[in-house]
């Protein structure tokens, strides 16, 4: 493997490690790259599995990571000028049916930097609201906020796709669902105690519009 690729991957992995609980993507360390190619570019004996045939594993593809939920490989295509990052799906019959994640390892690193800043901001809000700094507990994350984050990532990278990034952020969307369901339960209880929307918003430290949205979801 070339040193430029290894250096870029090292920086990417550092950024990913800060956000791994929120992402359905994982990356190999540079010293793991050769082993990561087994079963894709090479067999266990080191013989090449790559070829130019349609649907075959291409010689320029390098596995740099995988999606933890299902184990699909994440690759960088060294054969393209910008060297985009994609994930390929197991069980599709051929390897051509993949999807872009980012225009390059550098672009993906920038996207993860944005994700990390966003997470830090949300954790800060959680601490202000008296919640513990524990990634396993709900923090103030909503699905609409995640949608906005995804839109920003996609706007900055022509290779990025909204649906692919939503899939890559599946753990974050799960956390958002947990947080919102918890809030809906609290709104329901506060309504039962005779509180109005403005009082509920103040007690939960959320915007009135957000409190009203959760109120509507408590109704049958």
Q: What is the tens place of the pLDDT at every residue in 20-51?
A: 999 999 999 999 999 999 999 999 999 998 98
d(CA 49, CA 27): 22
| 3-class DSSP assignment, residue 178 | helix
pLDDT of residue 136: 46
Alpha helix ranges (H) inside the chain: 3-19, 33-36, 105-128, 143-155, 162-168, 170-192, 197-204, 208-218
In the 8-state DSSP scheme, what is residue 5? H
pLDDT of residue 24: 95
Q: What is the tens place of the pLDDT at every residue in 156-209?
A: 999 999 999 999 999 999 989 988 998 899 999 999 999 999 999 999 888 899
pLDDT of residue 1: 63
Q: What is the tens place of the pLDDT at every residue in 123-165?
A: 877 665 555 444 444 578 899 999 999 999 999 999 999 999 9
pTM of the model: 0.85
pLDDT of residue 6: 92
């Amino acid at each position: 493997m070339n040193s430029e690729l290894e250096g870029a991957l090292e920086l990417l992995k550092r950024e990913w490690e800060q956000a791994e609980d929120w992402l359905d993507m994982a990356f190999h360390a540079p010293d793991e790259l050769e082993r990561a190619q087994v079963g894709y570019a090479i067999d266990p004996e080191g013989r090449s599995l790559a070829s130019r045939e349609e649907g075959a594993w291409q010689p320029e593809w390098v596995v740099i990571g995988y999606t933890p939920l299902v184990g699909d490989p994440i690759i960088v295509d060294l054969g393209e000028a910008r060297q985009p990052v994609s994930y390929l799906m197991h069980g599709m019959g051929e390897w051509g049916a993949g999807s872009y994640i980012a225009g390059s390892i550098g672009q993906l690193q920038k996207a993860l930097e944005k994700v990390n800043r966003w997470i830090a901001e949300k954790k800060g809000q959680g601490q202000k609201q008296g919640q513990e700094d524990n990634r396993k507990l709900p923090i103030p994350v909503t699905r609409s906020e995640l949608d906005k984050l995804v839109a920003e990532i996609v706007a900055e990278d022509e290779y990025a796709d909204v649906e692919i990034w939503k899939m890559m952020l599946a753990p974050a969307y799960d956390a958002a669902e947990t947080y919102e369901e918890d809030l809906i339960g609290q709104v329901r209880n506060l309504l039962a105690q005779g509180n109005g929307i403005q009082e509920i918003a103040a007690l939960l430290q959320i915007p009135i519009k957000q409190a009203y949205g959760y109120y509507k979801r408590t109704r049958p």
